[in-house]
């Protein structure tokens, strides 16, 4: 990883590194997929392919999986190492080959030695351990940051680029985190069904990609039933527990609960099984299940089916071993108890939005799902190919039977479109490169899979368990509000961890087997799996925490004592958002001392050392329920007698996300304004990447003179806003100016604009490829000659060189030619003469109709399949003009309303004129006090030549800033006497004036302006197209039509809705009422064969289309014509 920025996307990189096999990862998720995959029938053994050949038994065992380095294979057969910049420039996918070992056994004898075959390619995350830019691969482990940064620059990369994204077909794509309900957790809830409320307990039981929902439900007669996936209908709970091996009534009672209040309810269930079903033993219970699940089949099949369901389908996360049936019965007993407690009012339903019940699916988990479905398809295909070749030739080679594109295409298609397995869309998104902030925020985004259209008020609300885990402010406004979230600053998402280490520690701490369970003992769960019981759960939890702090147990583990059930819940699964807290001992004394802090400052020790020494620990939402956390040290000392604290916050500032933490003094703003400030910092223009001259982004913006803000926050040291800034410090006066800054508009001095304020460049890349077509035809870059169909006038190609490409530094307007190109005809006509060449058509690339600019660079390269590709970048200087959008960091947004000559601007006694004027009405109702604070803070900073700290909750105090103003010779309230620029008279009132950071946003009027007279129409309806990009018309909608009806302006309506839209003239036969047509000879004919009276009628083309569509349905709509005279 490089620098501080990379730490912000550690969760993405860490997850992908867990997924891929490499030296430091013994148990990669890819290997886990290979080991657990079954090919053919479900009951087959995992990790091997058994060929169905009748007499022969051939088994192909899958071995170790490995990943190569990212390479590019040229059309001429050569291969070389690929780099991300090469992939971007040449429209390649940055991917590495996957190798898998195969061993072939015939009748138990090894016939083919281990052979590693390439099975496909896998897109590689930039800066992950498999990437050619990883420190390990580029400069070697242990090299200095400066040496690594220089090596990155040599590879044409921005050293501050965080990585964490993929490059697919030359475009950067990010896999956004998915928020999902946690598997293997029992959730108790009410369900309304037919106006009746039922209580039920659900568990999504997950094992190696297989997910099964098991539900225990209480029916209205009090009987508890269990729904098992794949098996239709419900099974009584008592019958299922008996089938699992608990046949005595006392044992069933003990496994559910020992509480007196519930005994009668359980007894009623047991009696129902005895009386109604007539079941007393395990055998009878199994026979009932056989009748339910496999009625009418042979005895052997029925037994196998029930065994398969009990072991593999019912609660598979506990185990798929027949020995674990008792454990499953105990687990079902716990679910039943929770349902009964809910029924009796002893507990409340579980909170779905509690963050202990959520898990994040990161890039690694998402790629695992994709890889599993791709590998399954590949191995199914391999089995089919091998069976065919054995039946034909009595032999088959794995190497020649693998079709690599099966796996590769599955992965690439999902990555390129965002359509994932399980019907989810929008998982892979185009990385937002507007500015540095938008990139970082996009890489830390968390999306909820809930539908956008429904209200889901609870899911959108800020939940108390999101404190310190997700940013309370950074979320979009509108339909996605609260469903799209962003990670807070110092969080860590738990990664892969083997359970064996936990089991060893638990055995040492006195864990007993499930068989020894009695009422006084507490059950111990690891990731939802019941692994044993313990006589003193509370003591066990304390011992586990102690082991973790001593470094005996990995700090990924979190533990909680469930007091209601007297259970111990241990979690070590991936996808939990955890946040670091300082550990406090029993006497409210902080374990971290001044001495340790000094060692940290001198770089003697690092963050990980604090974790190893137990001074800091990561807490997940579940363990936080057992903690009492102090906000600051004053609370620790002040509440010594009343509160027994366990932890202390590192800094209250870290509850904010990466974008909100850039807002100075956010605690002085109203919450929605902080949300808007965070949202608009992602639309600001600045220096996005230092290698912008090389990057072939489709569209990019760059501010010409970006400045570092005068008022900074602590978080800016880590998110590279100081090295890649996106805004400028401006002198701002809060005053009205002749009504030009009404309604949030702003007034800017032309002098400031001439000095470069808010000036930016817009860069757009156009690309074209010489495509090859079937039949040996291909596109050609050249200046189209006069013989080419559709060729333009000679002047249109004046700027092109002989190779058809334009010369750099030429100024162009809309629709001007960039690349001259000819293509073969779209439709193959009948050849007139065999030897005469086919006429080609003109298909030159032109500048977009409403854009202009100067050719910045021209690049010619080759794609992977050997066809030439040209990329041309155009730059357009954007000088602030009326209608451009600007915003401060506090959600105070406005468009430029007027540009004032410098001599017309008001000025202070010392001759300073403001760069920008905002309306006083923008401040009071919006309560953006921080905007005012930043203005005086910036004023002090500019006078003292320093930056001012505006960090959340801990920035410089207002009194200090006021003192600074007084010391600099200003009034403490920031007001000054101003003089009118036009008359020179002193203004009657004092004006508040200061320095504040303003951002230019990418909503510029030159990108919005649009008008049309005539233009393209849609093929089907012949109405004007829609949208600015397609030169569309301006829609005269229903409400506009209503206005004209109200005015009685019927001819204007006809003009808008008919003459200017899709007017057409059709010939109508008055006899039949059908449309007439011209036959081959050009004679008017009616469909009814009589052409006595055919008249021309004007109508809307959409109406003519409707008549014809009705005819296709068999409805004859006849037109009746009357003589107007």
Are the C-beta atoms of residues 471 and 656 closer than 8 Å to each other? Answer: yes
Residue 671, SS3? Answer: helix
Q: How far is the CA of 243 from the CAs of 292, 320, 483, 656, in angstroms?
A: 13, 16, 43, 52
Are the C-beta atoms of residues 938 and 889 closer than 8 Å to each other? Answer: no
Spatial distance between the Cα atoms of 867 and 768, rounded to a whole number of angstroms: 11
744 assigned to active site: yes
CA angle 902, 905, 910 (to 5 degrees): 95
Token pair in block for residue 545: 């925490």
Spatial distance between the Cα atoms of 1007 and 1022, rounded to a whole number of angstroms: 27
CB-based contacts of 589: which residues, under 8 Å, 6+ apart? none
Listed residue (565, 563, 594, 664) closest to 941, CA to CA? 664
Listed residue (299, 296, 294, 295) closest to 310, CA to CA? 294
H/E stretch holding 701: strand 699-703
CA angle 450, 453, 457 (to 5 degrees): 65
CB-based contacts of 346: which residues, under 8 Å, 6+ apart? none
Query: Exposure pattern of 1062-1101 as b/e (b: 16+ CB <10 Å)?
Result: beeebbbbeebbbbbeeeeeeeebbeeeeeeebeeeebbb
Q: How far is the CA of 244 from the CAs of 230, 322, 328, in angstroms?
A: 18, 9, 7
CB-based contacts of 1110: which residues, under 8 Å, 6+ apart? 1116, 1117
Number of Cβ within a 10 Å radius of residue 565: 19
Spatial distance between the Cα atoms of 793 and 729, rounded to a whole number of angstroms: 50
- Residue 992: beta bridge partners? 734, 975
Spatial distance between the Cα atoms of 679 and 674, rounded to a whole number of angstroms: 9
Are the C-beta atoms of residues 735 and 980 closer than 8 Å to each other? Answer: no
Residue 421, SS3? Answer: helix
Beta strands 868-878 and 760-769, pairing class: antiparallel
Are the C-beta atoms of residues 719 and 658 closer than 8 Å to each other? Answer: yes
Spatial distance between the Cα atoms of 692 and 857, rounded to a whole number of angstroms: 12
- Signed CA dihedral, 1088, 1091, 1092, 1095: sign only: positive
Token pair in block for residue 72: 């590019």
H/E stretch holding 681: helix 671-681
Which of 609, 612, 744, 1055 is an active site residue?
A: 744
Spatial distance between the Cα atoms of 908 and 976, rounded to a whole number of angstroms: 7
Spatial distance between the Cα atoms of 631 and 642, rounded to a whole number of angstroms: 15
Give the residue numbers annotated as catalytic, written as ranges: 744
């Amino acid at each position: 990883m490089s620098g501080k920025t990379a730490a912000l996307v550690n969760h993405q990189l860490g997850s992908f590194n867990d997924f891929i096999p490499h030296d430091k990862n013994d148990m990669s998720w890819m290997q886990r997929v290979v080991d657990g995959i079954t090919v053919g029938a479900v009951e087959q053994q995992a990790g091997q392919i058994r060929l169905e050949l009748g007499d022969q038994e051939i088994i192909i065992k899958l071995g170790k999986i490995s990943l190569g380095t990212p390479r590019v294979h040229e059309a001429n057969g050569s291969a070389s190492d690929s780099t991300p910049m090469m992939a971007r420039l040449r429209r390649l996918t940055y991917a590495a080959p996957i190798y898998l070992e195969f061993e072939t056994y015939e009748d138990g004898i090894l016939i083919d030695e281990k052979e590693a075959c390439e099975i496909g390619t896998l897109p590689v995350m930039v800066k992950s351990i498999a990437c050619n830019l990883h420190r390990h691969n580029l400069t070697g482990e242990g090299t200095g940051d400066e040496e690594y940064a220089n090596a990155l620059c040599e590879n044409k990369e921005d050293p501050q680029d965080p990585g964490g994204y993929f490059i697919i077909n030359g475009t950067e794509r990010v896999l956004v985190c998915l928020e999902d309900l946690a598997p293997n957790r029992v959730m108790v809830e009410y369900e309304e069904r037919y106006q009746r409320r039922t209580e039920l307990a659900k568990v999504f039981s997950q094992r190696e990609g297989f997910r099964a929902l098991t539900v225990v439900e209480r029916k209205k007669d009090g009987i508890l039933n269990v729904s098992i996936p794949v098996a239709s209908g419900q099974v009584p709970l008592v019958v299922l527990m008996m089938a699992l091996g608990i046949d005595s009534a006392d044992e069933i009672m003990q496994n559910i609960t020992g509480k007196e209040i519930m005994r009668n309810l359980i007894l009623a269930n047991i009696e129902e099984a005895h009386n109604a079903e007539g079941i007393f033993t395990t055998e009878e219970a199994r026979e009932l299940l056989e009748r339910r699940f496999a009625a009418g089949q042979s005895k052997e099949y029925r037994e196998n089916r029930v065994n398969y369901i009990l072991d593999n389908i019912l609660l598979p996360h506990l185990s798929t071993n027949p020995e674990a049936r008792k454990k499953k019965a105990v687990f079902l007993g716990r679910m039943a108890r929770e349902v009964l407690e809910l029924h009796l009012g002893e507990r409340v339903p579980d909170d779905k939005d509690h963050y202990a019940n959520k898990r994040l699916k990161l890039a690694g988990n998402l790629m695992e799902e994709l890889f599993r479905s791709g590998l399954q398809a590949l191995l199914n295909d391999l089995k089919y190919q091998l069976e065919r070749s054995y039946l034909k030739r009595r032999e088959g080679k794995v190497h020649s039977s693998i079709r690599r594109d099966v796996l590769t295409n599955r992965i690439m298609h999902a990555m390129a479109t965002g359509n994932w397995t399980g019907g989810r869309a929008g998982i892979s998104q185009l990385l937002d490169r507007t500015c540095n902030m938008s990139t970082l925020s996009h890489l830390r985004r968390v999306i909820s899979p809930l539908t956008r259209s429904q209200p889901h008020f609870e899911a959108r609300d800020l939940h108390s368990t999101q404190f310190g885990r997700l940013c309370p402010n950074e979320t979009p406004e509108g339909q996605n509000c609260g469903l799209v979230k962003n990670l807070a600053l110092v969080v860590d998402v738990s990664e892969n961890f083997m359970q064996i280490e936990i089991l060893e520690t638990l055995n040492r701490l006195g864990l007993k087997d499930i068989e020894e369970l009695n009422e006084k003992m507490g059950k111990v769960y690891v990731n939802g799996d019941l692994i044993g019981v313990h006589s003193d759960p509370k003591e066990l939890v304390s011992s586990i925490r102690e082991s973790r702090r001593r470094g005996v147990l990995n700090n990924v583990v979190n533990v909680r004592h469930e007091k209601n059930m007297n259970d111990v819940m241990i979690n070590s699964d991936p996808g939990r958002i955890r946040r670091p807290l300082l550990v406090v001992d029993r006497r409210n004394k902080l374990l971290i001392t001044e001495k340790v802090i000094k060692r940290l400052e001198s770089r003697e020790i690092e963050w990980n050392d604090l974790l190893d020494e137990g001074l800091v620990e990561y807490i997940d939402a579940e363990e936080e329920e057992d903690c009492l956390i102090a906000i600051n040290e004053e609370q620790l000392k002040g509440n010594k007698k009343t509160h027994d604290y366990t932890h202390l916050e590192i800094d209250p500032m870290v509850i904010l996300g990466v974008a909100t933490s850039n807002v100075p003094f956010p605690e002085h703003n109203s919450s929605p304004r902080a949300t808007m400030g965070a949202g608009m910092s992602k639309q600001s223009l600045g220096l996005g990447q230092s290698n912008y001259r090389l990057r072939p982004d489709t569209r990019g913006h760059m501010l010409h003179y970006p400045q570092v803000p005068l008022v900074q926050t602590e978080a800016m040291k880590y998110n590279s806003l100081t090295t890649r800034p996106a805004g400028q410090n401006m002198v701002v006066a809060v005053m009205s100016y002749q009504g030009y800054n009404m309604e949030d508009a702003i007034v800017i001095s032309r002098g400031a604009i001439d000095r470069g304020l808010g000036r930016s460049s817009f860069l757009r890349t156009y690309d074209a490829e010489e495509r090859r077509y079937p039949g040996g035809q291909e596109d050609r870059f050249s200046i189209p000659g006069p013989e080419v169909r559709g060729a333009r006038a000679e002047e249109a190609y004046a700027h092109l060189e002989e190779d058809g490409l334009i010369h750099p530094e030429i100024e162009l307007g809309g629709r001007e030619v960039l690349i001259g190109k000819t293509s073969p005809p779209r439709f193959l006509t009948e050849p007139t003469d065999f030897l005469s060449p086919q006429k080609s058509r003109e298909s030159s690339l032109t500048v977009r109709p409403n854009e202009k600019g100067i050719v910045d660079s021209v690049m010619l390269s080759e794609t992977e399949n050997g066809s030439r590709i040209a990329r041309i970048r155009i730059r357009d200087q954007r000088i602030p003009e009326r209608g451009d959008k600007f915003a401060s960091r506090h959600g105070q947004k406005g468009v430029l309303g007027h540009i004032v000559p410098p001599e017309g601007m008001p000025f202070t006694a010392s001759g300073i004129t403001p760069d920008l004027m905002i309306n006083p009405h923008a401040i009071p109702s919006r309560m953006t006090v921080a905007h005012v604070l930043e203005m005086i803070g910036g004023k002090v900073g500019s006078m003292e030549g320093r930056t001012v700290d505006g960090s959340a909750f801990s920035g410089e105090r207002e009194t200090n800033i006021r003192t600074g103003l007084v010391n600099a010779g200003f009034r403490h309230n920031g007001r000054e006497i101003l003089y009118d620029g036009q008359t020179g008279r002193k203004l009657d009132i004092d004006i508040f004036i200061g320095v504040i950071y303003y951002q230019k946003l990418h909503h510029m009027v030159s990108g919005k302006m649009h008008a049309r007279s005539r233009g393209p129409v849609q093929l089907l309806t012949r109405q004007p197209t829609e949208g600015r990009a397609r030169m569309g018309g301006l829609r005269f909608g229903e409400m506009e039509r209503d206005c004209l009806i109200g005015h009685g302006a019927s001819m204007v309506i006809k003009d808008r809705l008919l003459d200017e839209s899709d007017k057409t003239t059709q010939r109508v036969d008055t006899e039949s009422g059908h449309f007439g047509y011209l036959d081959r000879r050009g004679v008017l004919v009616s469909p009814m064969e009589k052409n006595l009276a055919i008249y021309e009628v004007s109508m809307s083309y959409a109406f003519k289309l409707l008549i014809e569509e009705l005819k296709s349905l068999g409805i004859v709509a006849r037109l009746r014509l009357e003589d107007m005279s």
